[in-house]
Amino acid sequence: MKNILLPGLTLMALCVLGLSVQAQQSAPASNVQWIDAMNLTEVEQGWGQIRAGRSVGGHPITLANVVYTHGVGTHAASTIVITLHGAATRFSATVGVDDEATKEGSVVFSVIADGKELVKTPALRKGDAPQVISVDVTGAKKLTLQLDDAGDGINNDHGDWADAKLDLVPGTQQKPGIIVKPVAPPRYVHQRESDVPQIHGARIVGATPGHDFLFLVPATGKGPFIYSAKDLPAGLKLDPSTGVISGALQSAGTNQVMLSVRGPKGIAKRNLTIVGGEHKLALTPPMGWNSWNVWAAAVDQDKVKAAADELISSGLAAHGYSYINIDDTWEAGRDEKGNIQTNKKFPDMAALSGYIHQKGLRFGIYSSPGPKTCAGYTASYEHEEQDAASYAAWGVDYLKYDWCSYGTIAKDDRSLAAYMKPYQVMGAALNKVNRDILYSLCQYGMGDVWKWGADPSVGGSCWRTTGDILDNWSSLKSIIESQAGHEVYAGPGHWNDPDMLMVGVVGFGKTHPTHLKPNEQLLHISMWSLLAAPILIGCDMTKMDQFTLDLLANDETIDINQDPLGKPASRLVKDGNREVWARPLFDGTKAVGLVNLDNEPQKITVKWSDIGIKGAQSVRDLWLHKNLGTLKGSYTVEVPAHGCVLLKVKGVNKK
């Protein structure tokens, strides 16, 4: 029998059409291996846990009202890799979105044998008839069952491999099984920090004239330091002992300021562009920390203060990280005048803000346009102007505004106007306060937010392009794959946000070291830098190990993320699971990521013609901190599984 994909047909339907069910179950029971009988515990996915014989929600596997005894319930994105040993002849399954999902569920199933794609379904949505897959795998060594979202995020993507099984070669002794890969060492080199002063982070910063201005000059090296600034614009002052620039710009315009940092081992100088004007925030992607991925509802004032303390003491602030953001669960209803109140975990929000500002850092907060936040606390619906005024009075510098319960207001209205409306309302409220508050839209990419988030009627500085990230490979891979093409809508002052970081100790209140493998973490940081995404740390910074610090404090990757040209990377080559991403930088060089999404190491080549350059090029590896020499035409390197080689490529002038 040839490989078949029968859309809309369950096994019962096949019988009705006169097609033999036995044709799908051609092997005797002794020569059949059900996938749900394998050890699936190491399979990662975008949400929840993979389940044998049950849906991902824990119910009987049900497609189009038909219940299946055997099968695997999973959730996009997930990858099941099976070693076959050449012992199987056929794989078959009935696939679709489980009946338990909401109408938002939409998935794509793929079957890959030894790197060759045998079947890829069209996007299957809740309510679509399931499809029967039957593929010849005779002689194959490895089988990959892949479930991806349909390009619209992973919300409710409950996919079933119902009746999934392998027909085996009669008499086979070595049974197929799930492949569990050993953890490969990270492809990076720890770089000792120099004693000689160096200035890092953003090269450009903007603010509204008349509003509070705060900028901590990020500098490393052996101290103590003496900071100075030449041509600082009127209204601003620099504290020579702390490096904090504060005050308020007196007028609009662009100012070129020469910063100097002097220490016992030398002096560093760097130009900083300060831009005054309306809507000049986030001229580079925001960098800082957010409480949710580590603490979730367990966050409190002491944990936020500890994060601010650690941002300074760990040295991360000296590399450009500046925001300390509280996520959900700080709210406690409203007073008799309708003003938002804080709960006992946050007894004095203004004092907490002052504590953070005193360190030269910025302070962020969270709300929702609906009646309730995601965690069920008081949100901003019909109190937007009051809340914006409260935030300004508390000294808030950053607002994350999360869709959540606004879905009960919008109901079934999926129009662009409905998606934009709540963000327009809060945007207008923020414009009325006498304070610069960076506006971060969080609605998971609905309505192609990247196309309208920067609209003047909205005023977003950044916007989530995906659902929530989790600390597993399936989640990270799904997010990376969804970003291609969004880059044309981002730039200085308006950035695509693929969610917060998942490195270090994380866990939403039940903390644990991230489940991302070391090379996956390197890929995570590399891609967020290439994509010009906000870099918001999501870990317990009091428990960072050296590897986590090295990931977060790599100035060569930070320079890519904070590049003042502000052009995010494009995916220029896609060859199966091998990809090449590149972005131009302000100094005429190119940042290039060689990305391996495969489960095995892969050799990947970047051709200079693919990234729009020619001639001899000087190439530097930014994780090995190593110059690779002058190369002509291309560069080829082996990239670890689930990894990235990050390069800086610079043309060599001919003499």
Which positions are catalytic?
Answer: 402, 468
HSE (side-chain half, CA atoms, 13 Å) at 313:
10
Burial of 609 (0-12, 13-18, 19+ CB in 10 A): exposed
In this structure, the number of other CB atoms found within 10 A of the CB of residue 52 comes to: 17
462, 440 in Cβ contact below 8 A?
yes
Q: Where are the alpha helices (DSSP H) in 265-415?
A: 292-295, 301-313, 349-358, 384-394, 407-410
- Residue 51, amino acid: R
Q: Measured between alpha carbons, how far is 135 from 161 in angstroms, rounded to an integer? A: 14
Q: Is 392 helix (H, G, I), strand (E, B) or coil?
A: helix
Q: Is 354 helix (H, G, I), strand (E, B) or coil?
A: helix
Q: Measured between alpha carbons, how far is 560 from 591 in angstroms, rounded to an integer? A: 7
In this structure, the number of other CB atoms found within 10 A of the CB of residue 151 comes to: 12
- Residue 331, amino acid: E
Q: Measured between alpha carbons, how far is 385 from 140 in angstroms, rounded to an integer? A: 63
Q: Which two tokens stand for residue 481?
A: 């794959």
Positive or negative CA dihedral for 592, 596, 601, 605?
A: negative
Q: Which residues contact 286 (CB under 8 A, 6 or more apart)?
A: 322, 323, 398, 438, 440, 461, 462, 495, 534, 535, 536
| The length of the chain, given as a count of residues | 655
Q: Measured between alpha carbons, how far is 179 from 169 in angstroms, rounded to an integer? A: 20
Chain centroid offset of residue 86 CA: 38
Tell me the DSSP string of 40-88: -TT--BSSS--EESS-TTSSPEEETTEEESSEEEEESSEEEEEE-TT-E
Q: Measured between alpha carbons, how far is 227 from 196 in angstroms, rounded to an integer? A: 14
Long-range Cβ contact pairs of 614-617 (< 8 A, separation 24 or more): 615/651, 615/652, 615/654, 616/651, 616/652, 616/654, 617/649, 617/650, 617/651, 617/652
474, 495 in Cβ contact below 8 A?
no
Distances (CA, A) of 358 to 218, 259, 411: 15, 21, 44
106, 97 in Cβ contact below 8 A?
yes
Nearest to 84 by CA among 109, 118, 54, 53: 118
Chain centroid offset of residue 616 CA: 34
Q: Measured between alpha carbons, how far is 174 from 415 in angstroms, rounded to an integer? A: 55
What is residue 408's DSSP assignment? H
79, 135 in Cβ contact below 8 A?
no
Identify the residue whose tokens are 């300390």: 324
